[in-house]
């Protein structure tokens, strides 16, 4: 395939949207199926994306340690390699182990694996390590994603504070009271059912800003916002003035920990360096305990690493990619997985003229349809359509 030069492009019409979509998906499929470089220093990131119904999408990304060592910064999409993607009907330890073994055949030796420690992933990782030992292979090292691990510590600290539960209760009562009023624009953030403690800073920041509005009686408010009504609905925030200072400190400790470990990763001196960086942030017993817990976690994860070695500590780049995949699925995401999941592969690649030519020559439209029919199965939307229309599912 040869791209046209500017002179040849004159007079040509823009391709149809469906054509462009097909190009993107073929590009993504190429990133998934292209041959990976066999090596002994691959680090794999593994996680699931859940949909409505029984299906899950397991995604495995990889990066070589020789590349990670040169970065000295947080990971981006372009640093990662698309190793494996599987649409599965449910997941358990045996399925995860099988998927990891398949990934291993694609890259050679798996040096380390980083995950969010979901129960099925933990079970599968344990089974993989046990099998490697049985075969007298060097077992892969398993590391905890610091984002989820630190959020769990943050959650423990907040749940041990009765004021936090009362604060959430007040937020929950206030939200429906103001939802259909002009004050609805100032309502508390909606609490997430899953992973709420990964983004709890938004709730704390909202509380601090609303407290500032309540305290500043002379401050200018947006048009149509009545201060009397504002104070009537939100005056309860003043009860949590001291608590919010403590919660903000806990939040800053987690954010500072993440900022350091995103770039430095786990390494032999990570725990001592992190304790030094966090020393100025602990001014109350709760924050002192949180610093101790996070430092102990980092020490536990880094204790077996040799001086000079470093392992990525965060799977946020994978979490972000899965979020982008859901965005690409759009309104179809609740009906099951579609071929749009291949857009995740396209997001990882550096787009160059050479790579576009290479991918579109290697992956035809027929290959895209074949992959979709073999890997996606029957969506909930097609089942609904078949049942309600009385047609047969093929």
Q: Rounded CA gap, 157 and 159, in Å?
A: 6
211 in a domain, yes or no? yes
What pLDDT, on the 0 to 100 scale, is given for residue 236?
A: 94
248 in a domain, yes or no? yes
Among candidate residues 278, 302, 326, the one where a domain is terminated: 302
* Cβ atoms of 183 and 233 closer than 8 Å: yes
- The dihedral over CA atoms of 75, 78, 82, 85, expressed in degrees to the nearest 10, equals 70
What pLDDT, on the 0 to 100 scale, is given for residue 390?
A: 61
Among candidate residues 302, 333, 362, the one where a domain is terminated: 302
Indicate whether 178 and 99 sit together in one domain: no
Q: Which helix (H) or strand (E) holds 382?
A: helix 380-389
The pair phi, psi for residue 59, each rounded to 5°, is -120, 130
394 in a domain, yes or no? no
CA 391 from centre of chain = 38
- The number of domains in the chain is 2
Q: Which helix (H) or strand (E) holds 26?
A: helix 17-33
Q: Rounded CA gap, 68 and 144, in Å?
A: 17
Indicate whether 265 and 213 sit together in one domain: yes
List pLDDT tens digits, range 53-110: 567 889 999 999 999 999 999 999 999 999 999 988 888 899 999 999 999 999 999 9
* Cβ atoms of 312 and 68 closer than 8 Å: yes
* Cβ atoms of 105 and 84 closer than 8 Å: no
Q: Rounded CA gap, 232 and 266, in Å?
A: 49
Q: Which helix (H) or strand (E) holds 165?
A: helix 162-178
307 in a domain, yes or no? no
Quickly list H helices, 37-161: 65-71, 93-107, 119-134, 146-159
What pLDDT, on the 0 to 100 scale, is given for residue 310?
A: 96
DSSP state of 80: -
Indicate whether 64 and 49 sit together in one domain: yes
What pLDDT, on the 0 to 100 scale, is given for residue 376?
A: 84
Indicate whether 326 and 285 sit together in one domain: no
- What is the secondary structure of 53-79 as a DSSP string? SSEEEEEEEEEEHHHHHHH-S---GGG
* Cβ atoms of 266 and 144 closer than 8 Å: no
Give the list of residues 6+ apart from residue 7 with CB closer than 8 angstroms, or none.
none
85 in a domain, yes or no? yes
* Cβ atoms of 26 and 363 closer than 8 Å: yes
Range of the domain at 12: 6-145+315-389
Among candidate residues 274, 302, 330, the one where a domain is terminated: 302
* Cβ atoms of 63 and 312 closer than 8 Å: yes
Indicate whether 83 and 184 sit together in one domain: no
Quickly list H helices, 217-352: 227-234, 241-264, 270-278, 285-302, 316-329, 343-348
Give the list of residues 6+ apart from residue 337 with CB closer than 8 angstroms, or none.
51, 55, 57, 87, 329, 376, 379
Indicate whether 157 and 298 sit together in one domain: yes
Indicate whether 23 and 138 sit together in one domain: yes
209 in a domain, yes or no? yes
What pLDDT, on the 0 to 100 scale, is given for residue 195?
A: 57
Indicate whether 284 and 363 sit together in one domain: no
346-354 CB contacts, 8 Å cutoff, 24+ apart: 346/24, 346/25, 346/27, 346/28, 346/31, 347/28, 347/77, 347/321, 348/31, 348/61, 348/77, 348/78, 348/80, 348/81, 348/82, 348/321, 349/27, 349/28, 349/31, 349/78, 350/78, 353/3
Indicate whether 163 and 276 sit together in one domain: yes
Indicate whether 124 and 244 sit together in one domain: no
* Cβ atoms of 266 and 301 closer than 8 Å: yes
- Region of 286 please: left (phi>0), alpha (psi -120 to 50) or beta: alpha
1 in a domain, yes or no? no
Indicate whether 135 and 164 sit together in one domain: no
Q: Give the position of tokens 């060097």.
A: 138
Indicate whether 278 and 344 sit together in one domain: no
What pLDDT, on the 0 to 100 scale, is given for residue 148?
A: 93
Question: 7: which 2 tokens?
Answer: 């002179």
308 in a domain, yes or no? no
Low-confidence ranges of the chain (pLDDT < 70): 1-12, 50-54, 192-198, 218-219, 221-223, 331-335, 377-394
The pair phi, psi for residue 4, each rounded to 5°, is -75, 145
């Amino acid at each position: 395939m040869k791209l046209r030069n500017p002179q040849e492009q004159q007079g040509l019409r823009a391709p149809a949207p469906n054509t462009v979509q097909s190009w993107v998906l073929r590009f993504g499929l190429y990133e998934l199926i292209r041959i990976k470089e066999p090596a002994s220093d691959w680090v794999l990131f593994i996680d699931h994306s859940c949909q409505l119904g029984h299906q899950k999408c397991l995604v495995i990304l990889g990066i070589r340690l020789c590349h990670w060592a040169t970065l000295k910064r947080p990971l981006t999409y372009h640093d990662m390699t698309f190793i494996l993607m599987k649409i599965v009907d449910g997941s358990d330890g045996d399925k995860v182990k099988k998927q990891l073994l398949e990934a291993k055949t694609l890259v050679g030796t798996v040096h380390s694996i980083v995950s969010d420690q979901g129960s099925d992933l933990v079970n599968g990782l344990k089974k993989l390590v046990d099998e490697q030992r049985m075969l007298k292979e060097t077992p892969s090292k398993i590391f905890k994603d610091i984002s989820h691990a630190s959020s769990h510590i943050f959650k423990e600290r907040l749940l041990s504070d009765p004021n936090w539960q009362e604060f959430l209760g007040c937020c929950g009562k206030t939200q429906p009271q103001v939802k259909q009023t002009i004050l609805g624009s100032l309502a508390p953030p909606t609490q997430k059912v899953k992973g709420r403690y990964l983004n709890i800073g938004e709730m704390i920041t909202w509380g601090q800003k609303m407290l500032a509005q309540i305290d500043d009686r002379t401050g200018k408010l947006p048009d149509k916002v009545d201060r009397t009504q504002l104070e009537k609905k939100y005056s309860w925030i003043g009860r949590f003035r001291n608590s919010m200072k403590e919660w903000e400190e806990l939040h800053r400790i987690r954010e500072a920990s993440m900022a350091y470990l995103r770039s430095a990763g786990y390494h032999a001196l990570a725990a001592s360096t992190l304790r030094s960086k966090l020393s100025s942030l602990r001014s109350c017993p709760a924050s002192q305990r949180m610093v101790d817990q996070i430092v102990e976690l980092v020490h536990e994860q880094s204790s077996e690493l040799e001086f000079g070695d470093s392992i990525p500590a965060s799977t946020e780049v994978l979490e972000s990619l899965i979020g982008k995949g859901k965005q690409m699925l759009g309104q179809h995401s609740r009906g099951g997985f579609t071929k749009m999941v291949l857009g995740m592969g396209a997001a990882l690649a550096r787009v160059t003229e050479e790579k576009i030519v290479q991918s579109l020559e290697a992956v035809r439209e027929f290959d895209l349809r074949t992959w979709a029919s073999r890997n996606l199965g029957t969506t909930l939307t097609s089942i609904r359509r078949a049942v309600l229309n009385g047609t047969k599912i093929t």
